[in-house]
Each structure stands twice: as C-alpha cells, then as structure tokens.
Amino acid sequence: MSSLNILVMGAGAVGSAVGGFLCLGGHRVTLVGRDPHMTAIRERGLHIGGIWGQHHAQELRTFTSVAQVPRERFDLVLITTKSYDTRDAAREVLPLLSEDSLVISLQNGLGNVEAISEVVGQHRAVGGRLIFGIEIPEPGQVEITVYADKVMLGSPWRKVDLARLEAVAAAFTEAGVPTEATLEIGQFIWGKVLYNCCLNPLSALLEVNYGELLEHSETREIMASVIEEIFGVAQAKGVSLAWRSPAEYQQVLFGRLIPDTYAHHASMLQDVVRGKRTEIDALNGAIARMGAETGVRTPVNLALTQLVKVKERIGKRRAAQHPLSGT
C-alpha cells in the first residue's frame, strides 16, 4: 500500500507504539497525546523496546491537541483514547477527514466503534481488536511487554469494502504490527471484552499481574462466573461469540491467553494507582447494564464494577495526597 497520512488520536502506550511502527514502515504519522510524552518524542524521537526488538522512530509529528494539527486530510485516524473519550475524539477529528478517510477504534470495551460511527458515519468507522501489552516506562519510550494475537480490523455494518481493509491490514503487517481484516469484527471485540472483563478488574483490585489470577481457586471461580454472565448477555442480545460455550472459552483463557500474557499488569491498575478514571463502564459495567436491559443476572460483573469505582476514588484521594507516587 502506498504511503498513508495517519493521525493517532490519544497517543498513549498503544497509539504511540502502533504509530511508531507505521512511521518506521514509511507512512506519515501524526500523534496527538499528552506531555511530557509528546515533547520527549518531538525532541528525541520514539524509542520502542520490548519483545519485538529495539526500534527508533524519528519522523513522528507530535501535538497535544487537535487544534494544533495542520488542517490537512488524513487517510486513517486511529482512535486510541480511553473509551469514555471516544465520542469527543471523533468530533475533534471530523474536520480532518475526507469522504474516503477511515476512523479505526483500537480501544478496550464495548460501544466505541458505534460511538465513532454516529459522528463520522458507518462508511468511515472501523472496529479494531488489539490484544497485546504495551507500557510507557518513561516519556518518549514504549515497551511491548506481551503479545496474545494479531490486530483484527472490520466494519460491523460491512459498509467498508473488505479489500480496502485488507490493504490497510497489509500496511500494518508490513510495518511490523501483525494485522488481519475480518467480516466478523464483532466476535473479536466481544472476545477482547471477555478477556478484559475477566482480568482487568481483578488485576486492578488485587494489584497483581494476570498470571497470579490463575494461581488461586477463588480468582479462577470469579473469572468463570464473569464468563458465564457474558455468554448469557451475548445470547440475550443476539451476539454470536466465537466459542460454543463458557467452558470452551474458559479453557482458552486459562490454557493459552493468560499464560501468554502472564507477566502483564492491567492498564486499569495503572489508572487507579495514578488516581485516574478507568474504563470499567465500557467493560464489566457495560455487561451489567446490558444484563439489566435484557433480564440476565450479572451479579459478579456488577460487583466488580462497583468495587473498581471505589478503588478509583481511593486512588484519586491517594494521588492527591501524594502527587508523585503515581508517576
């Protein structure tokens, strides 16, 4: 695929890493994120380390707001903000889109691509599933910590031509980010939700890595209940999952996905430690809301949502009392 003009909106760990690889792959990449990370990249370039080797991207343009971005049209916009900022992010990038631009969600949770489509139209909105771990050890650096599977891209409404998505996926893959296009993106997004709902809240509440959750019968039982509830909600909503039963998915989670990402700590844990809002409402909270709407009981997902919200408030209070502790 010829060189693309790409904007990354919300360039934290995920956006910086994906944008960095695309830049190294010969594409023109603009990052919109927060300081001091953006300033460090502007001054010294982006260093990418971890399990995919050592790389240095020097040609990235960086800004701290969309208002600073030159008024030009972008071929691709990658939305990598927190889920609760999705709609605002889509509105901000709307003036930078042409009729043929694609806006891709590479986020956690349910409802992101739908929120984007309400702003930019279904013909430009693309859902993405990204399932590997990335951290920012210090400004100007990202580290790939764990990898579970390739990125998947697709249009939930099939309003974007599959051949075009395959070309975008090929561009990602050639740049070093393994990616595939699919006609069943909903299955992959719900699969990521299953993974996140099982691991993120427990990792945040107990302050442990994913692997530790596999070592205790109590946490395994909680995860099994989360899975059962999500399957019940999916069935009530008419969502087709990639696994035939909760037991089949549990075997995949316990047997492959958690071992493959054993040492990873949830970004939700990083959020609560730093006194920030989490994405719990787009994960277990979304499952609890859908359960209430469809009459499916989701007591475990609801309890995890409530506990994480308390943890958020505790983390916010601690961060205010000790402002350097979360940096």
pLDDT tens sequence across 11-40: 999 999 999 999 999 999 999 999 999 999
| Angle made by CA atoms 264, 184, 176, in degrees to the nearest 5 | 50
- Topology of the domain covering 5-183: Rossmann fold (3.40.50)
The continuous run of DSSP H or E covering 5 comes out as strand 5-9
pLDDT at position 323:
61
The continuous run of DSSP H or E covering 158 comes out as none
Active site (catalytic) residues: 192
pLDDT at position 280:
98
Q: How far is CA 236 from CA 118, 230, 289, in A?
A: 24, 10, 13
Q: How far apart are CA 195 and CA 189, in angstroms?
A: 10
Q: What is the CA radius of gyration of the chain?
A: 19
| Angle made by CA atoms 239, 246, 312, in degrees to the nearest 5 | 80
Q: How far is CA 306 from CA 116, 205, 278, 299, in A?
A: 27, 11, 12, 10
Q: Residue 185's closest CA among 163, 164, 165?
A: 165
> Is the pTM here over 0.85, yes or no?
yes
pLDDT at position 326:
37
Contact yes or no for 210/261 (Cβ under 8 A):
yes
Going from the first residue of the chain to its last (327 residues), give the mean pLDDT of each consecutive group of 10, the final group possibly shorter: 93 97 98 98 98 97 97 97 97 97 97 98 98 93 92 97 97 98 97 97 97 98 98 97 97 94 90 94 98 98 98 92 54
Burial of 242 (0-12, 13-18, 19+ CB in 10 A): middle
pLDDT at position 325:
41
Q: Residue 242's closest CA among 295, 297, 185?
A: 185
Torsion of CA 67, 71, 72, 76, to 10 degrees: 20
Q: Taking the domains of the chain in order of start, what are their residue ranges?
A: 5-183, 188-317
**CATH label, 188-317, candidates 3.50.50.60, 2.60.120.430, 1.20.140.10, 1.10.1040.10:** 1.10.1040.10
pLDDT at position 320:
87
